[in-house]
Structure 1
């Protein structure tokens, strides 16, 4: 058994093709917007949200839409107004991809319930044979000596059983067909604990992230997923500060000032 800690890394985020954006804006007369925004240091994810919102109303500058006589020129203020007005559809254009490493299947079973605006690719234990059982214990559990002693014995037994089955089924013998390996590995995973550390690629748009962060950092959320989404929230506050500016943190719970965005 190897003790692990859940880890979160952002591995992909929006990147705007400004050449294509500018070609469109030249055609509709909105180039003044990109001339202002492109040189700034605002994140592309927020720029994409703003672009999508302004396209809806042709509000690149006053007069392009005869109904629009004035526009916000501060991008953070614009995105903040999107959040306050709950114009959440434009948030769905910006997607962020994370690798969640050393997280348990307790967590992933709960995570994949959030299907809207998300994509998942999880390590498959039908194909990936276990030779150890990485496991996370929360701090309160590590402080309980009797609990740890008994738990580690269980995990050591399960880990030894994985090694025994691999030998018993001849999985490392020369000439063993992959189909046999897959069949037996699929059976062997039945003896893996649900708390086993695994990996999952998780992609979500900004609208979904706002919702899941609130739900999964709430006081009643499961402790591991609460820990992980606290880390995701911190990453996203750095990546899209205007989108997450309305959040306050109360005892680990990320609470939005505006809901249903």
Structure 2
């Protein structure tokens, strides 16, 4: 049993197939595409233009990619004309077209309290969570007992001693129940909200922007989930830099 710290890793995100490149390469060469746009931008353009173009979805980039990715933004903003289109779509709230971009994260060492908050965001999210029913949390089990998250406000002065003492008491209660023959699925009832857990989460871009708007720092969110929101933003903007303006826009508009 020990205090844990949050760890977040991006496991996977939207990527183009070789079949796509085989088609797009006819008029818009693979090497040029890789230089001008991320995979996410290509998917976003394909989805958006499908709504307004006479071209088929599989033809959008081959026939329109050079126009959008190869010219400067016509609205005077930064980036290419594709970036201008993305800004227009977000401004007009036609963001269902951004649901085609997905991101899968490994999220480790977060509290069950955070999990309860996180799973309130259901549309556009998928969760696979470590089970306290099947993963035994006894001191003598493989887990070594349950780990826990200490809120920042509980680390001040005597509060930390009180908090850690409560965790130790919960562990003892769990261990004593198991020794008394209580199944793990029932003994887990005494584990606190601070008990840490691990999960895999997949979310689309539209849902993630909405999550960030509600849970970002400075918007009244609890510190732990606000830290998670910021970390998810960083992970996404690292692989899809063009999305940064929309996370910033969320902050500015709330």
**TM-score normalised according to structure 2 size:** 0.79
8 Å contact from structure 1 (residues 100, 200) kept in 2? yes
Question: In the superposition, relative to structure 1, how do residues 34 and 82 fare at CA in structure 2: closer, same or farther (>3 Å)?
Answer: farther
2:89 to 82, 106, 119: 82
Aligned residue for 1:245, secondary structure, equals: helix
Distance 2:44 2:54 in 1: 13
Alignment RMSD: 2.8
Instruction: Find out whether 1:44 has 2:39 as its counterpart.
Output: yes
After TM superposition, give the deviation of residue 210 of structure 1 in Å: 0.6
Question: In the superposition, relative to structure 1, how do residues 34 and 215 fare at CA in structure 2: closer, same or farther (>3 Å)?
Answer: farther
Uncovered stretches (5+) of structure 1, i.e. residues with no partner: 170-182
Number of the residue aligned with 2:123: 116
The structure with the largest helix share of the pair is 2
After TM superposition, give the deviation of residue 162 of structure 1 in Å: 2.2
Question: In the superposition, relative to structure 1, how do residues 139 and 235 fare at CA in structure 2: closer, same or farther (>3 Å)?
Answer: same
Question: In the superposition, relative to structure 1, how do residues 231 and 80 fare at CA in structure 2: closer, same or farther (>3 Å)?
Answer: same
The equivalences for 1:118-197 within 5 A come to: 118-131=125-138, 132-144=145-157, 146-169=158-181, 184-197=183-196
8 Å contact from structure 1 (residues 98, 201) kept in 2? yes
Alpha-carbon displacement from aligned partner over 1:132-169 (angstroms, at most 9, x marks no partner): 2211223342232x111122212112112222333332
Aligned residue for 1:98, secondary structure, equals: strand
Distance 1:113 1:47 in 2: 31
8 Å contact from structure 1 (residues 93, 205) kept in 2? yes
8 Å contact from structure 2 (residues 112, 195) kept in 1? yes
Uncovered stretches (5+) of structure 2, i.e. residues with no partner: 70-79, 139-144
After TM superposition, give the deviation of residue 204 of structure 1 in Å: 0.6
8 Å contact from structure 2 (residues 233, 247) kept in 1? no
After TM superposition, give the deviation of residue 214 of structure 1 in Å: 1.1
Distance 1:49 1:200 in 2: 27
Alpha-carbon displacement from aligned partner over 1:187-234 (angstroms, at most 9, x marks no partner): 111010011100121111000011101111152112211111111111
**TM-score normalised according to structure 1 size:** 0.77
Instruction: Find out whether 1:220 has 2:215 as its counterpart.
Output: no
Which shifted more, 111-120 or 13-22?
13-22
Distance 1:76 1:37 in 2: 17
1:104 to 102, 108, 111: 111
Number of the residue aligned with 1:209: 208
Question: In the superposition, relative to structure 1, how do residues 34 and 191 fare at CA in structure 2: closer, same or farther (>3 Å)?
Answer: farther
Distance 2:121 2:28 in 1: 35
Count of paired positions:
229
Distance 1:17 1:159 in 2: 49
Question: In the superposition, relative to structure 1, how do residues 212 and 33 fare at CA in structure 2: closer, same or farther (>3 Å)?
Answer: farther
